[in-house]
Amino acid sequence: MSSDAHKYVDNAINAFTLIKRLSTDFERLKTVASEPTEFVWDREMIYATEEDLIGATMAISRLQSVYKLNTTHLAEGNLQGVIGFPMTANDCYELALILYKQEDPNISRQAAEWFEAALEKLNNEQNENTFTAIEVMTYIVKSYHRSNINLDIKAYAWAEKLLALKPNDRTDYVTNFYKYAVTRNNTNSTEVASWNKYSALCRGETDVPAASSSKLHCWYLRNIPFLKLAPIKMEEVHKDPNVFIFYDVLSDDEFQNIKTIAGPKLERARIVGDIYAEYRIGKSAWLYNNIDVVAKLRQRTADFTGLNISHAEPLQVLNYGIGGHYIWHYDAFDSGQFNKEDGNRIATVLFYMSDVSQGGATVFAQLNLTVTPKKGSAIFWNNLHPTGEIDKKTLHAACPVLYGSKWVSNIWIHEFGHELLQPCSAI
């Protein structure tokens, strides 16, 4: 794919409309082309599917929720100042309909807003569409009412507009349903607080006290003979737990090599139990120590962390596309979930293999910390207390990629081999 093509699909709105045209729109074209015609399509090519379209829609929904993106701006192709192509009424309608069909109260407000955008464009376009204004308005009413947020007043307002267009339809569910606006809130307050914290940190809304930031330092690491010749720039970004960033520890050639090897192996990332989850959207591959570039990177990791990597896991390579994310989680396992021969994950080293145009930060809930990806750097933290218990302050997440693509890799270092390097504290 050319650089221009990559740049085009780096925009979530462009990606959605392209997938739509290669899935639902193309299916309609094939139906028409089944009649006697000279049109021929490549039956061997893998085209976008409905599942791809749903994935692109949910990515846009996720970006809207986290980064507070305006639906009207998105419908015009404006993604946080990055201008793409405007969406049509049909594009907005299809996106809204997919959100509506998820039957999730948490995204029903977005569905209503996209239906509103579709209605506005429908009134301004000359193109023929397969839906009517009355159908769209009905969906707006239903979507606002389904929302967990106190938006029944909006549903009621749209119901009145709808009834004005259908004055004889007094038996319609709308009349009875909205005789009185209903107020309710079924959302779990803990979940809301957790999501709000995640979203705020992803938007960079952090407030680190000056007294804390003034105690943080930067220096050149020269703790072994090799590093005396080629010291590594090291930045302390948090104390207790200690979180460090090491700069220029991965070259562009190494990244390209790793990307080339990992590319064909990438599969949708799973969570513990080898299952898929909506709170982790990305692709991953595992590269082992028998690959030269991986072996060198692992040795370099041992050099700048000072830890033993003989019991470390293979290099995990991850790619997050538009909307790709991983919600709050710990890297260390709960008791009984890890291999007793290697011990738990004592530390995490996360390499940023690419810059990210917008989004994609690593955030820590209890540390009020946001780390923006910088190509060639690595972030490092300990997951466990000296007692072997999980340090609950290491709860972290990967923010959705708003624009561009995010490549990272990580090495999880395990407890065994550190009995003398990091002995347990006296109890």
Q: What percent of the chain has pLDDT over 90?
A: 59
The residue among 98, 101, 102, 72 whose CA lies nearest residue 87 is 72
Helix axis angle, 152-165 to 133-146, nearest 10° = 160
- What pLDDT score was predicted for residue 129? 87
Q: Which of 370, 357, 400, 404 is nearest to 64 (CA)?
A: 400
At 70-92, the pLDDT tens digits run 999 999 999 988 888 899 999 99
Specify the DSSP class assigned to residue 420: T
Mean pLDDT of the region 287-307: 95
Q: Determine the distance from the C-alpha atom of residue 3 to the mean position of all C-alpha atoms in its chain, rounded to a whole number.
A: 23
Residue of higher predicted confidence among 313 and 342: 313
Whole-angstrom Cα distance, residue 246 to residue 223?
14
The whole-chain average pLDDT of the chain stands at 86
For 326-367, the pLDDT digits (tens) are 999 999 998 777 888 889 999 999 999 999 989 999 999 999
**Count of other CB atoms within 10 angstroms of residue 176:** 9
Judged by average pLDDT, the poorest of 146-155, 197-206, 382-391 is: 146-155
When pLDDT is averaged across residues 189-197 and rounded to a whole number, the result is 85
Confidence class for position 171, pLDDT limits 50, 70, 90: very low
pLDDT at 149 over 70: no
Strand order of the β-sheet with 325-329 is 280-281, 325-329, 396-398, 362-364, 369-371
Is a pLDDT exceeding 80 seen at residue 211? Answer: no
284 vs 3, higher pLDDT: 284
Question: How far apart are the C-alpha atoms of 298 and 288, rounded to whole Å?
Answer: 10
How much is the average pLDDT of 2-20?
82
Q: How confident is the model at residue 423 (pLDDT cuts 50, 70, 90)?
A: low
Closest CA to 166 of 146, 140, 137, 143: 137
For 96, half-sphere exposure in the C-beta direction (CA atoms, 13 angstrom radius) is 33
User: What number is the average pLDDT over the span 376-403?
Assistant: 95
Q: Please spell the DSSP secondary structure of 285-331, one letter per residue.
A: EEE-TTSHHHHHHHHHHHHHH----TTPPPEEEEEE-BT-EEEEE-S
| Contact predicate 266/319, CB 8 Å | yes
Complete DSSP assignment for 24-89: HHHHHHHHHHTSS-S----TTS----HHHHHHHHHHHHHHHHHHT--HHHHHTTEETTEE-PPPPH
245 and 219 in contact (C-beta within 8 Å)?
no
Locate 133 and state its tokens: 């204004």
Convert 276-315 to b/e letters by CB count within 10 Å (16 or more is b).
eeeebbbbbbebeeebebbeebbebbbbbbebbbebbbbb
In this prediction, residue 322 carries a pLDDT of 87
pTM as predicted: 0.85
Give, rounded to a whole angstrom, the gap between the first and last alpha carbons of the chain. Answer: 58
Q: Are 354 and 406 in contact (CB under 8 A)?
A: yes
Mean pLDDT computed over 225-238: 91
Binned at pLDDT 50, 70 and 90, residue 392 comes out as very high
Phi/psi of residue 124, each to 5°? -105, -10
CB atoms within 10 A of CB 92: 25
- Predicted local confidence at residue 339, as pLDDT: 80
pLDDT of residue 208: 73
pLDDT at 257 over 70: yes
Task: State the Cα–Cα distance between residues 196 and 190, nearest whole angstrom.
Answer: 10
d(CA 171, CA 2): 57
pLDDT at 3: 64
HSE toward the beta carbon, residue 310, CA cutoff 13 A: 6
> 160: which 2 tokens?
């009145």
Higher pLDDT, 28 or 403: 403
- Give me the pLDDT at residue 167, please: 65
* Amino acid at the residue 208: V
Write down the residue that tokens 């999980």 correspond to: 390
**Do the Cβ atoms of 55 and 20 come closer than 8 Å?**
no
What are the contacts of 191-197 at 24+ separation with CB within 8 A? 194/328, 194/365, 195/65, 197/365
